[in-house]
Structure 1
Amino acid sequence: MSGQIEIFNEAADDYDRLGVDFFTPFGAALTEAAGIKPGDRVLDVGCGRGAVLFPAAAAAGPAGHVTGIDLATRMVELTRAAAAGLPNVTVEPGDAQAPDFPDASFDVITAGLVLFFLPDPGAALAAYRRLLRPGGRLAFSAAASYDDYFVEAMKALAGHADGPPPPPAGQAEMFDNADTLRAAVGEAGFSGTDVRDHTVASTFRDRRHFFSWINSHGGRAVTRRIPQQRREAALADLAAVLPEPITLSTTMHLGVAST
């Protein structure tokens, strides 16, 4: 987990700031699916740079409140600064695995592209269940499928990286498909889990733009292991597998469950 935090601290300044439609549209879609109402108290776990946090705050309105937590302190610093003019937003360090709040504190909990990074996502879901008030809702997103070009591009980059990749986090079987997601959420005490797919097309100017974007989020686990002297060769391999201009489609599962 500490290695992931380091990666996101390093990536924070560029995270969702490189002109690529990805985190922001997925965050907006998750917020809409969550059905946040004016006056709701919302917890956004793993808030990053606010892709879910800010639209959630707009939906909750001045009578509501959104608390964003993240273990990457640079993410917290930057997002807190961006939220400085919003009295209904609090951003603070906090662990998405085990948020430290009293039981029944929130009407809605959002977890945008977070669960699969956690060491025990099932236990995290159970913790979220305790933090929700009766009738509360959990809204989460997780990867469903990646563009074939993206998969080939990541293989090309990994071929230039030193050392083995970090071990995968979480319990992979939970994220196999919509049915396994529903089952895991149900085991944590939620009911009425609805999982639907949402697809976003992301466009990149060229392979250098794509590389910079991969380097600006969790993909940095690969790019940071590519020595500088091998970067041009890695970019050349990207050119062999990615058509230019580059447009890649990514599909995420959006899930909403009730207490």
Structure 2
Amino acid sequence: MADTEELARGYTLANQTQQDTATFLLKKLNITRDMRVLDIGCGPGDITARIAELVGQNGSVVGIDPSKERIAIAINERAKPNISFQEGIAEDLSQFPTNSFDAIFVNSTLHWVQDQPTALKEFGRVLRSGGRLGISGGSGDFVAAHEKIKADILSRNPYSMYPEQSPPKFLKMLELIDLLDMAGFQEREIIRRKIVKSAEGADAMLNWLDTSSSGKTYGGIPLELRPKAREEMKREWDKLTTKDGIQMEMELLVTIAIRT
């Protein structure tokens, strides 16, 4: 399912988890004034605007995202003299010269990148020597409840008849290390970070998943079957709902790497 303006706008209302992980990553990445920064998977540009405040008027931030709906919101509502936005993918940064950025920020995005090795090599190309790469995203060494529920529902009939196109890939730590090595990021720190995603209930959790994934919560299921699949997912989430709502444990891999 392609992204929609409704999902894109809903993301700005339901992305507190991504905002929190961004805050942690920004502190680790140590972005300072006058830097030129590339924000990969910028979405509607909320966090890109925060980065622009850090670099100041003499710095600059470029945000790219494959969703034209999210880039349109970013351009219309977030663009400033030191911020620009482009539709694009992490695997192809050919619009940017070699050695053109001081830092690259990749939050809650890498698992959606289909050619991760090429993307990491592109990050290394456009970063200057000594430039910093910051990545935060789900760990492939830990299977969270939302992944288990999605896999369960998609394995059922008739949904199993419709294989998912371009599914997310959460890297294991050893896989991430290999990619960093191949891209020339031998100097790095990788942190396993446990977080808890809270939601009031099943509908709130599903809304977060829908807006975060640009509608990919249901894999390759046709549109006409998605309401039924959502109800089945909701029943599974209801089983995990307590008087305090849903508290879903997640594990992130947070990487700070230096281009040598």
TM-score normalized by the length of structure 1: 0.84
Change in 2 beyond 3 A, CA 1:208/1:161? farther
Confirm or deny: 8 A CA contact 1:201 1:248 kept in the other structure.
yes
Change in 2 beyond 3 A, CA 1:240/1:103? same
Is 1:32 aligned to 2:27, yes or no?
yes
The aligned amino acid for 2:236 is D
The alignment of Structure 1 onto Structure 2 pairs a total of residues equal to: 250
Q: Which residue of 1 aligns with 2:52?
A: 57
Is 1:154 aligned to 2:150, yes or no?
yes
Hey, what's the Cα distance between the residues in 2 that align with 1:136 and 1:249? 32
Confirm or deny: 8 A CA contact 1:156 1:237 kept in the other structure.
no
SS class of match (2:193): strand
Hey, what's the Cα distance between the residues in 1 that align with 2:214 and 2:85? 24
Hey, what's the Cα distance between the residues in 2 that align with 1:32 and 1:107? 15
CA offset digits 1:213-233 (Å, max 9, x no partner): 222122732337343355444
Higher mean C-alpha deviation, range 50-59 or range 25-34: 50-59
CA offset digits 1:42-69 (Å, max 9, x no partner): 0111111335423322221222111001
Q: Which residue of 1 aligns with 2:85?
A: 91
**Runs (5+) with no aligned partner, structure 2:** none
1:81 corresponds to which of 69, 76, 83: 76
Is 1:237 aligned to 2:236, yes or no?
yes
The aligned amino acid for 1:15 is Y
Confirm or deny: 8 A CA contact 1:21 1:202 kept in the other structure.
no
Is 1:21 aligned to 2:21, yes or no?
no
Confirm or deny: 8 A CA contact 1:113 1:142 kept in the other structure.
yes
Q: Which residue of 2 aligns with 1:198?
A: 193
Q: Which residue of 1 aligns with 2:207?
A: 212
CA RMSD of aligned residues (A): 2.7
Q: Which residue of 1 aligns with 2:164?
A: 166
**Runs (5+) with no aligned partner, structure 1:** none
Change in 2 beyond 3 A, CA 1:157/1:210? farther
Change in 2 beyond 3 A, CA 1:212/1:157? farther
Hey, what's the Cα distance between the residues in 1 that align with 2:214 and 2:8? 12
Hey, what's the Cα distance between the residues in 1 that align with 2:158 and 2:191? 35
Matched ranges for 1:179-198 at <5 A: 179-198=174-193
Hey, what's the Cα distance between the residues in 1 that align with 2:135 and 2:189? 10
Confirm or deny: 8 A CA contact 2:8 2:211 kept in the other structure.
yes
Deviation of residue 113 (structure 1)?
2.4
1:46 corresponds to which of 28, 41, 44: 41
Is 1:255 aligned to 2:251, yes or no?
no
Confirm or deny: 8 A CA contact 1:66 1:89 kept in the other structure.
yes
Change in 2 beyond 3 A, CA 1:59/1:161? farther
Hey, what's the Cα distance between the residues in 1 that align with 2:47 and 2:143? 23
TM-score normalized by the length of structure 2: 0.83
Hey, what's the Cα distance between the residues in 1 that align with 2:56 and 2:185? 26
